[in-house]
């Protein structure tokens, strides 16, 4: 399998995923909406399968107050959302919007649907849960 390439809007940050992502999910929580628009689409990847190629010095991190644990990483130049590529987790999210190539996996879940705006309908047939995965 060829690596899945990714980058920010301006190209300052580039990366590749060498293995198949574990899954693709949508999050509709308030935080994801504010950071990404309507919802946040992320692919979950293993740290061993992720390689940051360029732009480590351009990645900025927003660390939320407790009880939130997921950081928000973005490019300092263009503001593109990146997911959480600078953490020390075995598995972490990468913003699907930053992918340049097909991630191979398809959406499996809409989570935090109870937080989505009333005016947004989801009609793609993908499983929906009201809260976080695992709750």
d(CA 3, CA 105): 14
- Contact criterion met (CB below 8 Å) for 83 and 94: yes
Q: Is pLDDT of 135 > 60? A: no
d(CA 132, CA 121): 19
Stated pTM of the model: 0.90
- Number of Cβ within 10 Å of residue 106's Cβ equals 10
Domain boundaries, the chain: 4-115
Rg (CA), the chain: 14
Supply the CATH classification number for the domain 4-115: 2.170.150.70
Task: For the chain, give the secondary structure using H, E and C.
Answer: CCCEEEECCCCCCEEEECCCCCEEEEECCHHHHHHHCCCEEEEEEEHHHEEEEECHHHEEEECCCCCCCCCEEEECCCCCEEECCCCCCCEEEEEHHHECCCCCCCEEEEECHHHCCCCCCCCCCCCECCCCCCC
Comparing 108 with 64, the larger pLDDT belongs to: 108
- Give the model confidence (pLDDT) of 110-133 as tens digits: 999 998 989 989 999 999 989 886
Q: Is pLDDT of 15 > 60? A: yes
């Amino acid at each position: 399998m060829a690596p899945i390439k990714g980058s920010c809007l301006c190209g300052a940050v580039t990366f590749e995923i060498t293995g198949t992502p574990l899954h693709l999910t949508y999050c509709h929580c308030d935080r994801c909406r504010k950071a990404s628009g309507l919802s946040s689409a992320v692919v979950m990847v293993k740290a061993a399968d992720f390689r940051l190629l360029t732009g480590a010095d351009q990645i900025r991190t927003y660390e939320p107050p407790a009880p939130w644990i997921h950081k928000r990483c973005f490019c300092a130049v263009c503001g593109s959302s990146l997911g959480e590529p600078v953490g020390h987790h075995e598995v972490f999210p990468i913003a699907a919007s930053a992918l340049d190539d097909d991630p191979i996996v398809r959406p499996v879940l809409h989570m935090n649907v109870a937080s989505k705006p009333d005016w947004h309908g989801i009609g793609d047939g993908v499983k929906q849960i009201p809260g976080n995965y695992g709750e």
